[in-house]
Structure 1
Amino acid sequence: MILLIVSVLSFNWLAFRPNRVEGRQQTAHVWAFTMAFQLLFDLLFDFKFKGYWYFEKNSVDWTAFLARTLLIPPVNLLFLGFFPSERRFLAKAGYLAAWTAAILGYELLTMLPAPWGYFHYGWRNIGYSAVVDPILFFMLLFYYRCFIQSR
């Protein structure tokens, strides 16, 4: 729980300090997309398939509300805000690889014992995240470029 609270505060502070996503409306769109997608993903993999859970395994966990609504959106704002869209493919691939590695490292930290950690695996493991996280980043970039980014 300690890591979650510190992460929510620090990621939000970082995301809104140099907010390079253009404007409040685009920020709200990224936030809404992220929350909707996160809740859909969690509905399937947390509640339906028991692949992972945040604090409690067999119940709706209100403390996980922070993780579902205030943790991932600012991370996505940071990812989009510093994405090297004007650079070559190798720079973009390196950026994506660095963010994936950082997310995987953070995921390992979240599995520390209480009171520090808050995330638990069911049948899912870090290997699934290593495959799925870049796909989720691509989906975020696609949505941002097609529906949010100003022309």
Structure 2
Amino acid sequence: MIGLLFALIIFNVVALRKNQLTPNQTLHIWMFTIAFQALFDIVIEFKFHGYWYFSKDIDWKGMVAHIFLLPPVNILFLSFFPFQKEKVKQIFYILVWTIAILIYEAISLLPAPWGYFHTGWWKLYHSAMIDPFLFLSLLGYFKWVIRMENKSISGKIPGT
């Protein structure tokens, strides 16, 4: 639990200070992250018991990790993503973030009280293979949000 609390404080404080997204984008990414993680975890965590937080059951401590751990990380990822750079730099950026996530995941596997993440059949190489695709999904959603923002009429509220 100590490791989770430490990570929550660090990730959220840094994201709060370094966030370069608009409030609308931040809200979208926060909600998308929770929804996407919940869908993924329903299958991998709860159905197939590939990994879990604290215990294999749904518990409040695990909910804290689901709601407040990954959204600030995704906000930081997007805040510094090199959108205006060439594809090679974008791929390198995703690779660096994937390695950082893998290191963090390895740390979260430490015994309690520092660690809080447990694996069944899920191993770090599974994360190494899937994390870049998760980042690409996040980028795709974020670009869609930006397109929708650019299409909207500033200040117009539907039904008013």
TM-score normalised over the length of structure 1: 0.95
Opposite residue 27 of structure 1, the aligned amino acid is T
* Deviation at residue 25 of structure 1 after TM alignment: 1.3
- Show the counterpart of 1:19: 19
**Whole-angstrom CA distance in 1 between matches of 2:95 and 2:129:** 11
The answer to which structure, 1 or 2, has the higher relative contact order (CA under 8 A, 6+ apart) is 1
Q: For residues 67-93 of structure 1, what are the alpha-carbon distances to aligned partners after superposition, in whole Å with 9 as ceiling and x for unaligned?
A: 100000000000000000000111111
Q: 1:29–1:148: 8 Å Cα contact kept in structure 2?
A: no
Q: 1:30–1:73: 8 Å Cα contact kept in structure 2?
A: yes
SS of 2:69's equivalent in the other structure is helix
- Show the counterpart of 1:109: 107
**Whole-angstrom CA distance in 1 between matches of 2:13 and 2:84:** 26
Alpha-carbon distance change, 148 to 29 in structure 1, aligned in 2, over 3 angstroms:
farther
**Whole-angstrom CA distance in 1 between matches of 2:19 and 2:61:** 27
Q: 2:25–2:145: 8 Å Cα contact kept in structure 1?
A: no
Count of paired positions: 149
- Show the counterpart of 2:156: none
Q: 1:52–1:121: 8 Å Cα contact kept in structure 2?
A: yes
* Deviation at residue 148 of structure 1 after TM alignment: 3.9
Opposite residue 81 of structure 1, the aligned amino acid is S
Q: For residues 89-124 of structure 1, what are the alpha-carbon distances to aligned partners after superposition, in whole Å with 9 as ceiling and x for unaligned?
A: 111111000000000000000000000000011111
**Whole-angstrom CA distance in 1 between matches of 2:43 and 2:146:** 26
Gap runs ≥5 in structure 1: none
Identity %: 48
* Deviation at residue 35 of structure 1 after TM alignment: 0.4
**Whole-angstrom CA distance in 1 between matches of 2:25 and 2:146:** 6
Q: 1:104–1:130: 8 Å Cα contact kept in structure 2?
A: yes
Q: Give 1:23-38 correspondences, 5 Å limit.
A: 23-38=22-37
- 1:65 counterpart = 2:63: yes
**Whole-angstrom CA distance in 2 between matches of 1:141 and 1:37:** 13
SS of 1:87's equivalent in the other structure is coil
* Deviation at residue 147 of structure 1 after TM alignment: 2.3
Q: Give 1:64-83 correspondences, 5 Å limit.
A: 64-83=62-81
TM-score normalised over the length of structure 2: 0.90
Gap runs ≥5 in structure 2: 151-160
